Amino acid sequence: MQKAIPYRAWPAPPSSSAAPGGSPSASVQQLAAENAVIVFGQRGCCMCHVVKRLLLGLGANPPVVELDEGEAAAAADQLSRISGGGEGGEALQFPAVFVGGKLFGGLERVMATHISGELVPILKEAGALWL
């Protein structure tokens, strides 16, 4: 049985920020870099729950950073700047899944790669799965 990782509130606690300035975007980068897989989503979002359950079912145990409604817009802006921006200036949508420190995508991308059978090798390559 897997041990549950508690949800983290946004922004990350100041102690987890390694950047000298302690900027929130640096802490988000650190969170993405420290974890093989991490999910950013809005508090109470059912799609975030679906992504988490799918990854748990495959054997990955991703930490989930939950955002309140008031924080979601600012966090999406910071996450899209870290990931290089959305295509055509589109805003980042939640849940946002980072694999290997890079933005992997949202629910649609995770489900599409799972259905095609490509998700497990990607997770193994990132170090999220051992077997």
Q: What is the mean pLDDT of residues 1-9?
A: 61
105 and 79 in contact (C-beta within 8 Å)? Answer: no
pTM of the model: 0.72
- The pLDDT, as a whole number, for residue 39 is 92
Domains by residue range for the chain, with CATH: 8-126 (3.40.30.10)
Q: Which run of H or E residues covers position 74? A: helix 69-82
Q: What percent of the chain has pLDDT over 90?
A: 29
- Mean residue pLDDT of the chain comes to 77
- The pLDDT, as a whole number, for residue 56 is 92
pLDDT of 16-49, one tens digit each? 333 333 444 556 667 877 888 999 888 888 999 9
| Paired sense of beta strands 64-67 and 102-105, if any | unpaired
Confidence class for position 53, pLDDT limits 50, 70, 90: very high
Please determine, for residue 113, whether its predicted confidence score (pLDDT) is greater than 50: yes
First to last CA, the chain: 15
